[in-house]
Structure formats: C-alpha cells, structure tokens
Amino acid sequence: MVAVSRHCTRIEVIASVKEQLDIIISDLQASMGRHTPKSANANESETGASTPAYAIIGTGMMGREHIRAILQLKQARIVGIFDEDAGSVNRAIREFTQSGHEAPAVYTELDDLTNDDRVDAILICTPNFTHRQVFDAVKHTEKPIFLEKPMATTLEDAIYLAEASLSYPSSILLGMQYRYKSQYQLALSAINNGDVGSVKMISLCEYRPAFLPKVKEWNKFAIYSGGTLVEKCCHYFDLMNRIAASLPAHVFASGGRAVNFKDFSYEGQASDIDDHALVIVEYENGVRGQFTLNMFSEELYEGLTVSGDRGTLRAEEQASFKPGRGSSSKITVEVPGHTAYDGFDCTFPSAIESGGHYGSTLFEHVRFAKRVQGQQSDGASCAEGLWAIITAWMAQESIRTNTVVDVRETLARLGLDPFGEGLIPEINQRPTSDETNPS
C-alpha cells in the first residue's frame, strides 16, 4: 500500500508539471494568430484601435529577431525601422518581404521616427553602448519602450536608466528573455511554490560557441559591449538574483581569454573580450551561487541546479547554432514524490522554439504587448536589469583585481547609490527563513 500511495502521489505531481507546461504553451498559442494586417500602413479601421504600432531602432541580429517574433505573434504591427547601417536595413526589409508582409517605413533620421504619430511604442535594439544615448533621444515621446539587454555598459549609465524609469510616464521593459525559456519558467514556478524548500545553493552554467559576427564587431570589445559577463551573462545573473531573492554581498571570479579572438582586431583595435569565467556570489541572505561560462564549445549546453532544504532542482537545455539541429529542454526535481523526480521533457513545440532564443523571445513580446496596452505583466524591470549588471560588473572587477569584491563597499567607493526607492527589485527584498549574512 505504501508503494502504491507513493506512486499515486508522483502521478499527481507529474500531471501538475505537465499541466503547467500545457498552460504556458496554450496561453502563448492563444496570443498568436490575432488579426493584424499584412500592410504596415493599414489604418485603424482595418486593424482595430487595440493593435499597437511599433517602431524599431536597430535592425542588427537582435533587431531582426524581434521583427520575426512580432510578425509571428501578430499582436502588433511594425510601421517603421531605423538603423544607420544600410546592410542591416536591407536584411530587415527581407524579413518582411520573405514572410509576405509589406515593408515598413525606413526612417533616415531618428527624429522622423519620434515624430511619427502612428508609433505607439519604441524598441531599442542598438549596440549596448548606445542605449543611454538612444533612450535620451526618444524619451520626450513618453511612449512605452522595449530596451534590449544589457540596459547599459557601465554602472553609471545603468543607474541613470533605472532612475529615469521611475519617473518615465510609460512602461520600460528590458529584453531579459532567458527567464521565459521553458525549463526556467517551470523552474522558477517550482522554486516559488517551495518545491525544493528554502533555497541554499544555486549553480548555473553555459557552454557555447564564440560570439557571433556583429556590425563593426562591437561585441569583441569590452568598451562597447560592457564585457562578456555584462553583455552575455546578465541573463544568468538575472536568474540567479531572482532565485536567491536577495542582493549580492560578495563576488569572486576567475576568468580570461583562453581560445577566442586572441589574434583578432578590427580597424587596428585588438579584441579584449573574455571567453570563460568561474563566478561565486554570496548573497546578503546567506544563499550562495556560482556561474560557469565556456565560450569555446562546439554546441550549446545550459544548466541550472538549485538546492534547498527539501531537495534539488535541475533545469537543462541542449541546443546548437548549426542548421537542422534541434534543441531539447528538461527539468528534474529530486524531491521524494515529485512528478519530475526522474526528469520531465519540457521542450516547446517547434513552432514556438523557432520564435527566437528557443521560444523565449515570443513570451517576452507577449509581456511587452500587455504593457503597451496598459496591462500588467511580469516583464523584466529596469531595477532587475540594474542588479543583473551590478552582479556581472562586480565579477569582472574581481577578475581584473584578483580579489573578493564587497559589493556595497565597492559601490560606495565609486560614489554610486543603487539602493534608493524603486531601485531594488521587490523580489530581492523578500525576507527568507534563514536571513543571515554569509560567514
């Protein structure tokens, strides 16, 4: 009888995990296929007043991913694009024509975009180092803004943008889409539900190929990207901060350049971007986290392990940048009686997986569309983006100085105060049952 009872409990939990995934998928599918015209210039009578019009600044690799996601979701129309690089503009136009959509307006000046009365919301998808400048150029419109990650390349600019968001009359949503990957949506839900109990340890890793080509190769230089841990890994520190539900207290990291771009230069400037790192973070509530990055792997592997006083959760993804190779996701919750004890395949259907970053970009845009229409959503805030950058920046500082970095002490030494009202995410202020400083 005991064995049967235990088996039945596991079946109930497994159904719950499957039901969660089914709801996530069905909710997204219900958001897709709403009427939107093939023409970007359609009038309100054709579209309905509720169909928002977007303008996109920056049509490089990420800008075009957002174009594809918006066209796939059909929750909004794109009325105009702007980019100073003609090649990026031409590649963006092909995204429309190849999918049977009429090409939008191409603005020759940023003022033309901000003066376009059709535009309801603005997406900033330019290189990292331009984000503050572009925000300042469009903020007078007071329209909702989607801002790609990382929100800035320096602590000063990140704090500036986070503070500006507090008084900005419309929503600003950050492009932190990794939290919407299938395995992470389910993991965050399980952790919030207390499935593993009080969180004690967090481990994240990413093994992947090198940085991809970009316009003018800006991502090969720390001055333009913010550094590898800021540029690439703010996603993971965003996840780590959310799971720890606290602020980072101390950071120690080791990393550098082992394989990639060691002999690379662009217009006479030598690349200085790191390709690997090991990072340890101690949080103010006693939770400890670690992150491993390897950017000279052939294929892509991501892993999250969270251990609490009830058990351990693992969320994994295997994927490839090579054509024709699919991805797979899995979540395991090693808690007696849990459905996912032996692992649960949570890979999204191919129609969603193809939507950018293994489907996560689609979920991100559902949240942005809600914000544009005046609804609430759990999209990433500027405060969350700020603390992801702070954590990553402290790791890079630790690599540079080969020391353990005290976060509050370092911020005070730099004359920076990201602790004001509204600058600390609500989730990072939650007390825990073991709220003690790390020893």
pLDDT in tens, 246-303: 999 999 999 999 999 999 999 999 999 999 999 999 999 999 999 999 999 999 999 9
Contact 357, 177 (CB under 8 A): yes
Task: Give the pLDDT confidence score for residue 39 in this predicted structure.
Answer: 59
pLDDT above 80: residue 118:
yes
Which pLDDT tens digit goes with each residue over 85-108? 999 999 999 999 999 999 999 999
Confidence of residue 70 (pLDDT cuts 50, 70, 90): very high
Extract the tokens encoding 137. Answer: 């150029």
Left (φ > 0), alpha (ψ -120 to 50) or beta: where does 141 sit? alpha
Extract the tokens encoding 154. Answer: 């320096």
Contact 307, 315 (CB under 8 A): no
pLDDT above 50: residue 4:
no
Instruction: Tell me which architecture the domain covering 182-353+382-429 has in CATH.
Output: 2-Layer Sandwich (3.30)
DSSP string, 253-272: EEEE-SSTTTT-EETTEEP-
Helix (H) or strand (E) holding 9: helix 2-31
Contact 54, 123 (CB under 8 A): yes
Task: Give the pLDDT confidence score for residue 40 in this predicted structure.
Answer: 57
> pTM for this one?
0.92
Domain spans in the chain, listed from the N-terminal domain onward? 182-353+382-429
In the three-class reduction of DSSP (H, G, I as helix; E, B as strand; rest coil), residue 300 is classed as strand
What is the average per-residue pLDDT within 69-89?
A: 97
Higher pLDDT, 432 or 333: 333
Task: Give the pLDDT confidence score for residue 37 in this predicted structure.
Answer: 52
Higher pLDDT, 323 or 259: 259
* Distance, CA of 342 to CA of 14 (rounded, Å): 10
Confidence of residue 425 (pLDDT cuts 50, 70, 90): very high
> What percentage of residues in the chain have a pLDDT greater than 70?
90
**Tally of CB atoms within 10 A around 305:** 18
* Distance, CA of 158 to CA of 165 (rounded, Å): 11
Which pLDDT tens digit goes with each residue over 359-405? 999 999 999 999 999 999 999 999 999 999 999 999 999 999 999 99
Cα Rg of the chain, angstroms: 22
Contact 127, 214 (CB under 8 A): yes
pLDDT above 50: residue 240:
yes
